Amino acid sequence: MLRKITTLGLGLVLLAGCGTEGVRETPAGPGDTSPATVEITMAEAQAAFDGLGDLAGAWRDQDCAKIEHLTTGVESTIGGRVCAAARVGLAAPGLPAYRDPEFLLPARQDGEDGAWFAVLAKKPKPVYLIFVRADGRWRLDAGPIPVVGKAPQVKGSVEGGVEGEVTDASADPDAAVGARLAPTRHVAFLTDPAGVNGKGVGGVRFASGDPMRGLLTELVGAPGRVRPDHLSTDVRIEGPARALALPGGGSLVFHALRVVFAQKPGSGRSSLAHPRYRAADVRAFTGGTPKSVAGSEILVLATRVAKDNTMTTVGLRRVLADVTENSDQGSG
């Protein structure tokens, strides 16, 4: 059974499957100790996608409680602080009316809460959206993630000529390890200055021109650009990763990183000479004008991991998710 459905095929599925809006649970067999598996129905996937209109309205109304209700994971993390800051002047993110969705529904997932699926919405501009079932309902977990390259075909792709089921990479022996290690390898690459030339001491590889190469160059050069201020950077994994298997043994990994920029005045100074963040944004997040700040920027990513573990960024969104007073205020 194909589990990659476009809106054209979805209409026929909905006509044939009225009344199947909930996840279909397949119980374990007699004597089987493994958990029951669930199949995501086309109707509920479409309903979750259509619910983005409610989330867009919540952002327009700065309804923080509704945003929290409709999101989970990294989007809930972003929404909590950004919505509160938007009420006092921060520019709130907009959420366009996405169209022409292609649903990527991993087959036979364990349990109900924690089940997930991806959508590649092709209009107005291609983005990935990740939905996760949490507390009994579908919520937006990650996205929009703007596509910055060519979206790869996943296993189960009709267009790519690879029929079968869309597969969670964790269930594919050829893809599982590379997918699981992708976030850790990102952190290793982005904290290794030798990676500016494309291959750090850890052997993590990104192609020339990849956004991660540009980000590493930015991180390495950031302290020098704000002198005499002192600035340090830190890169952390933000939340769990989810991945789809690709033909040939690779994977498409959806994950997030938190990049923290901690800035304080140089010796003998009482204020920042070259603030990284706009004063209005700092006030919106902190309610004041701290002398030293720590800004958290979240990168929401879609990464293609090849069978040889070479990584390519195919989707990227970068958000200023929080600014706090920097607690490390000693001179550096």
DSSP letters of 198-240? TB-TT--BB-TT-HHHHHHHHHHHHHHHTTTSEEEEEEEE-S-
Higher local confidence (pLDDT), 331 or 284 = 284
**Is 147 within the bounds of a domain?**
no
In a domain, 79, yes or no: no
Residue 119 lies in a domain: no
Residues 6+ apart with CB under 8 A from 24: 38, 39, 41
Rounded-to-integer distance, Cα 30 and Cα 14, Å: 32
Q: What digits encode the pLDDT tens for the residues 124-155?
A: 999 999 999 999 999 999 999 999 988 998 87
Q: What's the CA gap between 175 and 171, in Å, rounded? A: 8
Residue 187 in this model has a pLDDT that exceeds 50: yes
Is residue 149 domain-resident? no
pTM given for the model: 0.87
Segment 278-298 shows an average pLDDT of: 97
CB 328 within 8 A of CB 318: no
Does 216 reside within a domain? yes
Query: What is the pLDDT confidence band of residue 17, given thresholds at 50, 70 and 90?
Result: very low
Per the model's pLDDT, the better-predicted residue between 174 and 181 turns out to be 181
Domain of 271, in residue numbers: 168-332
Tell me the average pLDDT across 231-252.
Answer: 95
How many folded domains does the chain comprise?
1
Residue 100 within a domain? no
Cis geometry, peptide bond prior to residue 290 (ω within 30 degrees of 0)? no
Higher pLDDT, 164 or 116: 116
In a domain, 17, yes or no: no
Query: What CATH number does the domain containing 332 carry?
Result: 3.10.450
pLDDT band at 196 (very low <50, low <70, confident <90, very high): low
Instruction: Find the radius of gyration of the CA atoms of the chain.
Output: 21
For residue 158, tell me if it sits in a domain.
Answer: no
